[in-house]
A and B are shown apart, each in its own frame.
Chain A
Amino acid sequence: MKIKELKSLIEIKHIDWLTFSAPIVLTVMGILTIYSATRPVFDTSHPSFYLRQTIWLVAGVCAMIITSLFDYRRLLKYSYPIYVAGIILLIVTIIFGHKGMGAQRWLRIGPLSFQPSELFKIILIITLSKYLSTIRTPISYWQTLFSFTVFAVIPFVILYSQPDLGTALMLLIIMVVMLICKGIEKKLILYTTILLLIVLPLTGKLIWNGLKDYQKNRLVAFIDPGVDPTGIGYQIEQSKVTIGSGKTLGKGYLKGTQGPLRFLPEKHTDFIFAVFAEEWGFVGSFFLLSIYILLIIRGFETAYYSKDIFGTLLAIGISVMFLLYVSINIGMTMGLMPVVGVPLPFFSYGGTALLSNFIAVGLLISIRKHRFSLFY
């Protein structure tokens, strides 16, 4: 064991510094933006969001380093128990969790608020990768059905009842993408598509009725912002105003007005990109997007280089997760997508998400580092 770990340390030269530094840069930029967005307008004290996020950053970087030094293949052994533990944690959250913003997503451990669904994203990706790596291609109908039940239906139902529709949908999409990457029968894709096309219009009304009012409003507001039942259209419009008013070079750091004056809702969480774009303009936003592009494409490249299928699937799952979160969040703030409560990875305020994202990056580094391990 010891020799192996020493070996890992020696392999520090194989650490992918790009994947390592990109999330740190993003988080630092995020903390600066949180600081600006939560600036008090009266002479009251500055809310401590930026400080707490800094602490989470330190914890996250530690978690990332530990994860990256760790051989990801050891997860193969423990993934199923971890998955069961994750499911239990989610159920515990529903029972004992503490409410915030109309949903029961947080667990209190001492002074810390903890959002198990954020951690569960990683657990699901790991476990699904493990399961898919143990079966043969193409996946049979039964295996597909099994995967759906265990990795989609169960978490979906639990998350949906929190309710955390955003995360539930994300996980569903990540799972489907991973299944396709592993290779399901083309016929199956065709049949499912046809089935969905027939079933969706029929059950559309049922789904619609099952949605919460705020979810309906978001959809309506996205399709026709003029209707604006409860000010969702106002949110989108203000977000566009915030981004647009940054113009080419931005208003300058700490010069943004939309966030601190509360015209922009959720300024330090879901809509933080808008605050950044307001202060740094097109140039700054372009730079920010480039870092995300680098990180995500590097992730897919890591999947390509991975010598084992578990690593490939894991890297794909993580990269797809980042891609999804970034595109849905930024798409939402720019009025290209309906409002779904999804944070921007590394940027939005939120400790658990930051921690699990750093763990995910740690896994990517580990996978990339071990691409040569067959030759040792």
Chain B
Amino acid sequence: MRDKKKTLYFFVYITLGVMCVFILRLWQLQILKGDYYREKSIKNRVRVIRLPAPRGIIYDRKGNALVKNTPYFIASLIPELSEQVDIKGLSQLLGLSEEEIQDRINKHDKHSLEPIRLKEGITFQEVSHIEARRSDFPGLIVETDITRTYPYKETASHLIGYLSHPVGNRTNMETKGFSQGTFIGQWGVEHLYDGKLRGQPGKKYIEVDALGRQLRTLQILKPVKGEDIRLSIDLDTQIAAEKAFQRRSGALLALDPNSGDILAMVSLPSFDPNIFIKGITERQWKRLLRNPGHPLLNRVFQSQYPPGSVFKIITAIAALQEGIITKNFKVNCTGEIQVGSWRFRCWKKGGHGVVNLRRAIVESCDVYFYEVGRMLGIDRIAKYAYAFGLGKPTGIKLVSEKKGLIPTTQWKLEKKGRPWYLGETFNASIGQGYVTVTPAQAAVLISALANGGKVFRPKLTLSEAPEIMSRLPLKKESIRFMNNALLGVVQDPKGTGWRARSDMVRIAGKTGTAQVISISDDVGTARKYPKDHAWFVAFAPVEKPSIALSVFVEHGGHGGESAAPIARTVIETYLRGNTNEDKGTEVIN
């Protein structure tokens, strides 16, 4: 035996040394990195499940739901378990290629706790397949979200819009507080009121064990449903309006002249918003973009055309108001008017003969307005056009709208570098040439006449307060006279708008034709001589207007032919559905 004391000390030192190392290590693990490991142990057992918030429902003015909330399932993978997963089996289960799955796993942000989305929008059947084989694929989960379906498909799709996953810039999305998978309103009302409609998603904290079995719910933050929105449109009227176009392209905006409520908004051709939900395919997207009818264009606010004879309303009112003419002023229409070497024709060959202002409006005599326009000059016409809201945005926030164009002498000098010609005044007086308006502006114009001079900002919901953009600087008399003339357009035997005549209600209106000068098309095709665009603006009932609208039919020929019957259908449908309501208000008044 060696020195016993030395041996004792040797072992004591060894023991103490080892224990010192252990205590240092404990100190490192539990005190220095304690918070880190505590968090890890919580992450181990606590899984956060996002509870989607039901989105607010969009209703029409009568309470018909225009959208439906539907469950949406996503097959996803928990990131921490993604490395051990059997990709081959998964590809068979989900019907995806192995490369696709691997690609999705690789593209997933390593620091993100969000599950890796493998397949979106899976069916109930697929969900039950996955649930049945859950134990074979630890980490495979079915996420639930809520999405929309649009039961009326193409109907009012430009107004309602659609929901889809945001595409593009990730960091941009995150600063807005959305995770990659959130559905966001991308268009129309869904986009405009997205913040209101979306609600607040909830969270569910559950405890899981190492096998991924859910043990208990620790905490639930309930989702808050988004606010419902009651639109001002009337579904029946909207459907009737779209049907009345009979598959032609065009636009229609019907307003309540007393508030600016949009009662119907049609832009054709339209699109089915349901295709955006599952993520639109590239082919579908290209087809939409290449469609010659431009279905994604909102023609009501985003296309501008010469207003044609509709503009005569402006010219006439300007002349009356400026005292250039009285309603008895007469012009002999011979069918044309000559200025130097230029001839300006009336649409009616042979002319109207001697016409007064009312007849000129009712029969839409061009020559009469050439004369009036000559006396007025373009700048005075423009002044009144502006007053009616032309040449500037209507103030809708739904889309970025076109302003249209009301030319002035100054505008021409600045833009074209040339002085204004008299011939151009002639063209402008009857709504041709440089003058362009959007269908929305035309509707606001006729609505202002119908309500006695208030230019309302068109509004989408019932809850918004009506907003008057401006008041027409007109004598009551001029308005009364004009409305009577517009009634004549529909009611008089020779009125150009006779096709809008209704047994049910007295309608006032004005036809218009936007000349199509040329169309850039291959020579020799069928569209070599395209038809003009048709306009019709109207309001009813004349006695107490409750609807005012503009109708625009692309290549619809003369306004009276194709646009007027549409206006009649829409007015009749709307009034039929709302007579009770009207009676009620009458009693109160």
Contacts and interface: CB of A to CB of B under 8 A. Distances in A.
A282 B37 contact: no
A18 B209 CA distance: 41
A242 B21 CA distance: 19
B40 A245 contact: yes
B12 interface: yes
Interface string B2-37: 101101100110111011011101110111011111
A97 B42 CA distance: 42
A289 B19 contact: yes
A241 B5 CA distance: 41
A258 B18 CA distance: 26
A303 B16 CA distance: 17
Given A181-B7, A330-B22, A282 B30 contact: yes
B426 to A, nearest CB: 85
- Counting chain B CB atoms within 10 Å of each CB, the highest count among A241, A278, A303 belongs to A241
B1 A312 contact: yes
B26 A286 contact: yes
- Counting chain B CB atoms within 10 Å of each CB, the highest count among A248, A262, A327 belongs to A327
Interface string B210-221: 110001000000
Contacts of B33: 244
Contacts of A334: 22, 25-26, 29
Contacts of A282: 26-27, 30-31
A128 to B, nearest CB: 14
Given A257-B44, A258-B41, A244 B29 contact: yes
Contacts of A257: 41, 44-45, 207
A247 B4 contact: no
Given A243-B30, A331-B22, A293 B15 contact: yes
- Counting chain A CB atoms within 10 Å of each CB, the highest count among B22, B33, B36, B40 belongs to B22
B44 A289 contact: no
A63 B33 CA distance: 43
A278 B22 CA distance: 15
Contact of B8 (A289, A292, A301): A301
B25 to A, nearest CB: 5
Contacts of B5: 304
Interface residues of A, number: 48
A241 B44 contact: yes
Contacts of A238: 44
Contacts of A262: 209-211
Interface in B301-356: none
Interface string A297-309: 1001101100001
Nearest to A306: B4
A41 B38 contact: no
Given A181-B2, A312-B1, A245 B41 contact: yes
Nearest to A138: B2
Contacts of B1: 137, 181-183, 309, 312
B215 A323 contact: no
The interface size bin for chain B is: 35 or more
Interface in A258-317: 258, 260-263, 277-278, 281-282, 285-286, 289, 292-293, 296-297, 300-301, 303-304, 309, 312, 316
A323 B4 CA distance: 19
A242 B29 CA distance: 10
Contact of A297 (B12, B29, B36): B12
B11 A316 contact: yes
A246 B34 contact: yes
B81 to A, nearest CB: 11
Contact of A245 (B14, B21, B37, B209): B37
A8 interface: no
Nearest to B34: A247
Contact of A183 (B2, B12, B45, B211): B2
A247 B31 contact: yes
Contacts of B209: 41, 260-263
A42 interface: yes
Nearest to B43: A241
A181 B10 CA distance: 11
B36 A244 contact: yes
B18 A323 contact: yes
Contact of A243 (B14, B16, B23, B29): B29
A217 B549 CA distance: 80
- Counting chain A CB atoms within 10 Å of each CB, the highest count among B29, B44, B209, B210 belongs to B29
A240 interface: yes
Nearest to B35: A247
Q: Does more than half of chain B's interface fall in helix, strand or loop, or is it mixed?
A: helix
A247 B19 contact: no
A305 to B, nearest CB: 9
A351 B253 CA distance: 88
A88 interface: no
Contact of A304 (B4, B29, B30, B36): B4
Contacts of B19: 289, 292-293
Contacts of A242: 37, 41
Nearest to A295: B15
A319 interface: yes
Contacts of A244: 29-30, 33-34, 36-38, 40-41
A330 B37 CA distance: 18
A336 interface: yes
Contact of A263 (B25, B30, B44): B44
Interface string B497-517: 000000000000000000000
Contacts of A247: 30-31, 34-35, 37-38
A261 B207 contact: yes
Nearest to A137: B1
A277 B30 CA distance: 9
Given A137-B1, A293-B15, A316-B11, A258 B44 contact: yes
Contact of A248 (B4, B30, B211): B30
Nearest to B15: A296
A263 B80 CA distance: 14
Contacts of A296: 15
Contacts of B31: 247-248, 282
A241 to B, nearest CB: 5
A248 B31 CA distance: 6
Nearest to B21: A336
Contacts of A277: 26, 30
Contacts of B208: 261
Interface in B206-257: 207-211, 215
A262 B1 CA distance: 49
Contacts of B40: 241, 244-245
A300 B30 contact: no
A141 B328 CA distance: 143
- Counting chain A CB atoms within 10 Å of each CB, the highest count among B18, B25, B209 belongs to B18
A293 B44 CA distance: 33
A303 B8 contact: yes
A220 B7 CA distance: 36
Contacts of A278: 41
A282 B1 CA distance: 40
Nearest to B5: A304
Contact of B210 (A182, A246, A261): A261
A286 B30 CA distance: 11
B11 A300 contact: yes
B26 A319 contact: no
Given A245-B34, A246-B30, A261-B215, 6 more contacts: A243-B26, A244-B30, A247-B35, A282-B27, A289-B23, A303-B4
8 contacts: A181-B2, A245-B34, A261-B209, A263-B44, A263-B45, A297-B11, A316-B11, A334-B29
Interface of B: 1-2, 4-5, 7-8, 11-12, 14-16, 18-19, 21-23, 25-27, 29-31, 33-38, 40-42, 44-45, 207-211, 215
Nearest 4 Cβ contacts at the A-B interface? A244-B37, A247-B34, A245-B41, A262-B210
